[in-house]
Amino acid sequence: MVLDEVSGGSIAIGSGSGFPDIDQIVRRLRHIKAKKVVIAPFTLVPGIHAWTEITGERNENSWLKQLSGAGFTVTTRR
């Protein structure tokens, strides 16, 4: 909520296995009329599994693939 407040509503944080999930994030991004999205792991101890879930080129369910498929221009940060 603090990040949302200080960013003017331009930050959305999702969860790979909880709330909010990718579907809720897509709805939020459409609501705020986002065109470009930057995705990055936001975790205390990121492992390769987190990076694969977010940006996995071979993972059809990765956030990168799903957000791109939803029409967003997506870049990644480690």
pLDDT in tens, 4-33: 889 888 888 888 888 999 999 999 999 999
Total tally of structural domains belonging to the chain: 1
Instruction: For 39-74, write each residue's pLDDT tens digit.
Output: 988 776 666 777 777 777 777 888 999 999 999 999
CA dist., res. 20 & res. 42, Å (int): 14
* DSSP conformational letter for 48: H
Report yes or no: 33 and 40 within 8 Å, Cβ to Cβ.
Answer: no
Q: Report the predicted TM-score, pTM, of the whole model to 2 decimal places.
A: 0.81
pLDDT band at 3 (very low <50, low <70, confident <90, very high): confident
CA dist., res. 50 & res. 40, Å (int): 9
Domain enclosing residue 32, as ranges: 2-76
